[in-house]
Structure 1
Amino acid sequence: MPLKKIVIIGPESTGKSSLCEELARHYQTDWVPEYAREYLTRYGMDYRPDDLLVIARGQLALEEQHAAAAEAAGHKLLFIDTDMYVMKVWSEFVFGRCDPWILGQIVLRQYHGYLLCRTDLPWAPDPLREYPEGSSRDRLFQIYRDCLINQSTPWEEIGGQGEDRIAAGIAAVEKVLLPQ
């Protein structure tokens, strides 16, 4: 059975990384962290459109590295914190445009499911986060939702706090993504 890749997306501070980590722990597999965090920590928050292209390439390289390791270990699932939809949305939200290479990768990449994290978690301050106000978070959520509605990969919204959010993620994986 080939490795199934499940991507977790959503606005900042919606628990994507935590959900990835908890789902990977539950399913005894690996997860791919968000490369942007590593990049922005190293180079700072004064980024430009060209930096987003570097981040996108880094994210995909990290994904390939983790996928190869997961397959070698015999894992059936890989959880991915962020994909090219996130890069597209962020590029367009911040700079009003997206590099064609990123758009091309959206078409080429194949995933088995998406989990879209709702904005029902309280904002957690972090020097790498930019849009704490609720209106921006809600607008970004709708943009991500529109992306998922307009593609054919199964997806589910994930909400709730703490253990309820993790349980919602597990239920989504079980209900929608694994029965294939």
Structure 2
Amino acid sequence: MRDGVCKVAIVGPESCGKTTLAETLLKHLQAAGISAQLVPEYARAYYAARPYQPTPADVLAIARGQLDAERHAAASGVRCLLCDSTALTCRIWAEVAFGRAEPALAMLHRPQDYALTLLPLPDIPWAPDPLRTHSDGREMLLARYRAALAATGSSWREIAGEGPARVTAAWQALRQVLPDLPKI
């Protein structure tokens, strides 16, 4: 926890249920009386106003926008932030799309800022989306996330299953950093 805010990162391959998991966890946290806020994936807002033709500069801007949104949400005084994507997502995306991440982008990933990182597995059906481009590359992306997270030494948990099983697994992981959470 940093400044009394428990930041939880939710990262992973495209279409692995990150947003759905984040939204569901938010509802459960609030129902349990925990002040929590969701920091949405900034790339969606970024590309809502421009064509989806990413450049390395766009990916850097998205990472910076994601971090600005996290800082703004943390200043609201909530106890828990659920971050749907992080600078790590941008770094991996840049490596896959452009062969490397710019040094400025790589420096934005600060795993120590998160009490926990959840890595949902791509064990749910693919759902098409205009910002998704790797329908056949989810396992490759998962391997990149695993390697990146293992290299940081930070606390992370893989989240498998569908529906309630997935939420229960994530909730159990959350209880490691928020031990006063009730069981669900």
TM-score (norm 1): 0.90
Q: What are the ranges of 5 or more consecutive residues in structure 2 without an aligned counterpart?
A: 31-35
- Name the CA distance, whole Å, in 2 between partners of 1:37 and 1:80: 14
Tell me which residue corresponds to 1:122.
Answer: 125
CA distance 1:177–1:124, change in 2 (3 Å): same
Letter in 2 for 1:154: S
Contact map agreement 1:8 1:116 (CA 8 A) in 2? yes
Aligned length: 173
For 1:3-42, list aligned pairs within 5 A: 3-28=5-30, 29-42=36-49
Q: What are the ranges of 5 or more consecutive residues in structure 1 without an aligned counterpart?
A: none
Q: Per-residue displacement from partner, 1:84-124 (whole Å, max 9, x unpaired)?
A: 11111000000011121221122486111100010101000
RMSD: 1.6
- Name the CA distance, whole Å, in 1 between partners of 2:129 and 2:111: 32
Q: Per-residue displacement from partner, 1:3-50 (whole Å, max 9, x unpaired)?
A: 110000000101101111111111111110000011122212111111
2:75 paired residue among 68, 72, 83: 68
List, as ranges, runs of 4+ consecutive aligned residues in structure 1 with deviation greater than 2 Å: 176-180
**Residue 178 of structure 1: CA displacement?**
2.6
Contact map agreement 1:115 1:158 (CA 8 A) in 2? yes
Contact map agreement 1:6 1:114 (CA 8 A) in 2? yes
DSSP 3-state at the match of 2:53 = coil
Contact map agreement 1:154 1:177 (CA 8 A) in 2? no
DSSP 3-state at the match of 1:5 = strand
Q: Per-residue displacement from partner, 1:64-102 (whole Å, max 9, x unpaired)?
A: 111112x1xxx3211101111111100000001112122
- Name the CA distance, whole Å, in 1 between partners of 2:156 and 2:179: 13
Q: Per-residue displacement from partner, 1:117-154 (whole Å, max 9, x unpaired)?
A: 10101000111211111xx1000001001111111221
For 1:81-96, list aligned pairs within 5 A: 81-96=84-99
- Name the CA distance, whole Å, in 2 between partners of 1:86 and 1:129: 13
Letter in 2 for 1:93: V
Tell me which residue corresponds to 1:152.
Answer: 153
Identity fraction in percent? 39
Tell me which residue corresponds to 1:55.
Answer: 62
- Name the CA distance, whole Å, in 2 between partners of 1:92 and 1:109: 21
